[in-house]
Structure 1
Amino acid sequence: MSTLDGTSPLVLVDREHHSFSVARRSFVDPGILEAERERIFGRCWLYLGHESELAKPGDFVTRQVGGRHVIFAKTPKGEFRALLNTCAHRGARVCRERSGNAKSFQCFYHGWIFGLDGNLRHLPDEAAYPADFKDRPTSGLKSVPRFERYRGFAFVCFDENAVPLTDYLGQATEYIDIVADQSEAGMTVVGGTQEYSIRANWKLLAENSYDGYHAATNHATYLDYLRNTNGGLANVALTGEGRDLGNGHAVVEYKAPWGRPVAQWIPMWGEQGKAEIEAIHARLVERHGEERAARIATRNRNLVIFPNLVINDIMAVTIRTFYPVSTDYMQINAWALAPSEESSWAREYRLFNFLEFLGPGGFATPDDIEALEQCQRGYANAGEVGWNDISKGMNRTPPAYDDEAQMRAFWTQWNRRIADGVAA
């Protein structure tokens, strides 16, 4: 029952009576948000991008990660770099484009030119500076303190003393591997970025991203749609379990009736689709064996890497990040991920699935936005009705996919970092 201010607890746990409660002021207190910016977004590993976004030397994307402006670039030598997007001279953002291909970055203010490795290449009136000025480490773009990659997923951390990425990910690597192993040639981000916002606290989206309990009610329209599509499905029940992966990471893994281009066929896809799916499945078996191929093809996963990376491996594969702007407002970025070698048929249905359910205008996202915004409005009563109950399934082993073990994993780590101020 540790606290931020030393007087009132933020998380209450009573294992004997199977009770887990979170203080609603955690969603509305500006002081807590400031602590999150320092102790979570300033110290945890955060998702930057996928290697496939930088297909050629010279490719780059610019992103805001943990409140910092970052350039994710591929050098002419094919090396990946994560650079802080601020000029060594007077601090202006050097690269103002969202993405592109370049041989160098030029600061518009005074014309300093930097290579994609961050080194200072040229500056006007170079004779006015010492001979070794360009070679000084303080003259180039500064690299993010920590930058590491795992199976194509690139992460940064602003704490130079952080544990290695693989140690941080821990058991979550099992589920990243399942996604990466869907492809023979490597996974690739398809198309651009979906960007939207929600007028709610960022932690609500972390919870919602693997909350199986709300599916039957909040997404009832989608489940009805599945029952009534061509080749309609009589059984739309979801079955599976939740799992605490350590370090605040958690997952729900379950079976569901929708089609998965990776490969789970549905009658709606017809005979051509059946042949496509059978061929994909045969290649999975050849590479991974029957048991792992079946898990890859027929089971769904909603994975949250603490604090704010979601990998939804469901009817399509989605990467999603979200950052707080204020206590009651967040910005979200989402990307579709797919095997780079898949056929045009599979890609068409994958993107259809992605937009139909997961996109900002799909079946799921508007429902979820409405639910989270209504929660945030309800927290106006936090002074009188002060606690969220996150106890479902504490008396059950293993937890079902619609229990709340995964949220308890998130909140336990959140509480340790915020209330205790401990970095790991």
Structure 2
Amino acid sequence: MGDRIVFDDLENFSFRVDHRAYTDEDVAAQEMTKIFDRCWLYVGHESEVPAPGSYVSRDVGGRPVVMARGSDGVIRVFANSCPHRGALICSQPAGQARSFRCPYHDWTFSNQGDLVGVPLPDGYGPGFRKSDFGLARHRSDSYRGFVFATFDPEQPRTLTEYLAGATEYLDLIADQSEVGMEVIQGAQLHGARANWKLMMENSVDIYHFRALHKRYVSYIESLGTMAPRRRGGFARALGRGHGANELVPAAARPLAYWTPMFPPEVRSRMEATAARFVERFGAERAQRITGANRALMIFPNLMIIDAIGITIRKIDPVSAGQMSITSVALAPKDEDPDIRELRKSHYLTFLGPAGFATPDDIEIVESCQRGYLNRTLRFSDLSRGMAKEVPETTDELPAREFWRQWDRLMHDGDDDHEEAQDVTQRAERQGAQRR
């Protein structure tokens, strides 16, 4: 990249981002090659392909892919493109198949990606080998059920190394069930006329909660539950662009944290679940798993909001001023049926396309995007909390961690010289102590 876009001044506790990062189409094009073609990207959850032959197809990093569990039980991620002439080999969003057939010329591939059928093969020369024309396989791996892929054949890190401190929070999610977590069937597919990074910032921002979501705050407080406070909890940088904030105590958790917004008849069951967590993990960790609200950001485009429900939100760029959003709900496989229904209801009430929060969030990021047309206003300020030794959830440390990694990669940098966890948080704390 040429001119600077991110201005990070630890000495003066100032962090600014030039609005070109959100509006410039050349920047958007560079992001695809320097970020989305290089990083590990979230594809899906193992529970979405539960049995041999099951598959899902979706776009990842601007590329159509298929995540399939082969007949051998192994999950693979393939390019959704026939190696013959490039047509999609899978047009359905999900299903069960022993093989994939290209509709253009009937080339057929096993669910492990091997080419197994070619009509009129005698039309090819003696050097033609089926083994040379299997589906292109992307390097993939999973952590605690979350499947990622990378399009970079020279990606130097394993998935676990790439996730850095984010693994701590994925563990807190995965440990919510002894038998595993599962994606609840159905997805929310929508978008916004705004840059994708604005939704990443918004999703990890608690500072806006009471201001923007006044209707929801009034609603849950009318039910006897305290909404998230202006102050409290803590924010963390987790290394390599990942960040999180954590609010304790939780506003409400259908897992094992009863509040008056839940029916009284499920209280005893939630409390029994909470007791089992104490037996499994001890009181301190059990309280952290069941009694906190969290927002986890995994660079570049994955948000997991672990609050009144668990939302997996994948945010994809379409252009500088447009994004697409895919959201699904995650829950324990062994969840009580009544509590599962409660979880789904509150998930839709808050985060559904017509819920209390999502329309507010879409409207405000689109408002920001339009506001950037005022080119005399050049910068967004993300300095909140830089002067604190322990940033709170209403501070902007996770967003700064995102932008620091974005800036490194856009300038073809690397972070091998940095430790993976809490790097920038320590740097900011040291600055606050000097002050």
Tell whether 2:327 aligns with 1:329.
Answer: no
CA distance in structure 2 between the partners assigned to 1:372 and 1:86 by the alignment: 34
- Summarize deviations over 1:322-357 as a string: whole Å, max 9, x none: 111111100000110000000111101111111011
Tell whether 2:49 aligns with 1:54.
Answer: yes
Q: Higher mean Cα deviation, 366-375 or 275-284?
A: 275-284
Amino acid corresponding to residue 412 of structure 2 in structure 1? G
Query: How much has 1:76 moved relative to structure 2?
Result: 1.0
SS of corresponding position for 2:210: helix
Amino acid corresponding to residue 12 of structure 2 in structure 1? H
Matched residue, 2:405:
413
Matched residue, 2:118:
123
CA distance in structure 1 between the partners assigned to 2:387 and 2:110 by the alignment: 57
- Summarize deviations over 1:46-101 as a string: whole Å, max 9, x none: 00000000111110000110111101001111110101011111111111111100
For 1:44-193, list aligned pairs within 5 A: 44-129=39-124, 133-136=128-131, 138-144=132-138, 146-162=139-155, 163-193=157-187
Q: Higher mean Cα deviation, 186-195 or 275-284?
A: 275-284
Matched residue, 2:336:
343
Matched residue, 2:363:
370
For 1:288, which of 281, 286, 294 is the aligned residue? 281
CA distance in structure 1 between the partners assigned to 2:226 and 2:366 by the alignment: 33
Tell whether 2:416 aligns with 1:422.
Answer: no
Tell whether 2:200 aligns with 1:206.
Answer: yes
Matched residue, 2:242:
249
Name the TM-score, length of structure 2 as normaliser: 0.92
CA distance in structure 2 between the partners assigned to 1:362 and 1:356 by the alignment: 5
The 4+ residue runs of structure 1 with deviation greater than 6 A are: none
CA distance in structure 2 between the partners assigned to 1:116 and 1:400 by the alignment: 47
CA distance in structure 1 between the partners assigned to 2:384 and 2:16 by the alignment: 11
Q: Higher mean Cα deviation, 235-244 or 201-210?
A: 235-244
Amino acid corresponding to residue 329 of structure 1 in structure 2? Q
SS of corresponding position for 1:295: helix
- Summarize deviations over 1:10-37 as a string: whole Å, max 9, x none: 0112222211111011111111001100
Q: Higher mean Cα deviation, 76-85 or 12-21?
A: 12-21
Query: How much has 1:177 moved relative to structure 2?
Result: 0.3
CA distance in structure 1 between the partners assigned to 2:329 and 2:279 by the alignment: 26
SS of corresponding position for 2:407: helix
The answer to whether the 8 A contact 1:218-1:367 is kept is yes
| Number of residue pairs aligned between Structure 1 and Structure 2 | 413
SS of corresponding position for 2:208: helix
CA distance in structure 1 between the partners assigned to 2:133 and 2:9 by the alignment: 54
Tell whether 2:14 aligns with 1:22.
Answer: no
Q: Higher mean Cα deviation, 13-22 or 301-310?
A: 13-22
Matched residue, 1:226:
220
CA distance in structure 1 between the partners assigned to 2:226 and 2:79 by the alignment: 53
Query: How much has 1:422 moved relative to structure 2?
Result: 2.4
Matched residue, 1:271:
264
Query: How much has 1:129 moved relative to structure 2?
Result: 3.4
Query: How much has 1:207 moved relative to structure 2?
Result: 0.5
Name the TM-score, length of structure 1 as normaliser: 0.95
Amino acid corresponding to residue 142 of structure 1 in structure 2? A
Matched residue, 2:431:
none
Unaligned runs of 5+ in 1: none
The answer to whether the 8 A contact 2:250-2:291 is kept is no
For 2:209, which of 215, 234, 257 is the aligned residue? 215
For 1:194, which of 172, 188, 191 is the aligned residue? 188
CA distance in structure 2 between the partners assigned to 1:267 and 1:323 by the alignment: 37
Query: How much has 1:390 moved relative to structure 2?
Result: 0.7
Give the share of equivalent positions with the same residue, in percent: 45
Matched residue, 1:393:
385
Query: How much has 1:423 moved relative to structure 2?
Result: 5.1
The answer to whether the 8 A contact 2:217-2:227 is kept is no
Amino acid corresponding to residue 118 of structure 1 in structure 2? G
CA distance in structure 2 between the partners assigned to 1:305 and 1:330 by the alignment: 17
Amino acid corresponding to residue 210 of structure 1 in structure 2? V
CA distance in structure 1 between the partners assigned to 2:250 and 2:314 by the alignment: 26
CA distance in structure 1 between the partners assigned to 2:290 and 2:225 by the alignment: 18
Amino acid corresponding to residue 269 of structure 1 in structure 2? F
CA distance in structure 2 between the partners assigned to 1:109 and 1:30 by the alignment: 34
For 1:353, which of 346, 355, 364 is the aligned residue? 346
CA distance in structure 2 between the partners assigned to 1:233 and 1:209 by the alignment: 22
Amino acid corresponding to residue 37 of structure 2 in structure 1? G
Relative to structure 1, the CA distance from residue 141 to residue 234 in structure 2 (aligned partners, 3 Å threshold; closer, same or farther) is: closer
CA distance in structure 1 between the partners assigned to 2:81 and 2:117 by the alignment: 16
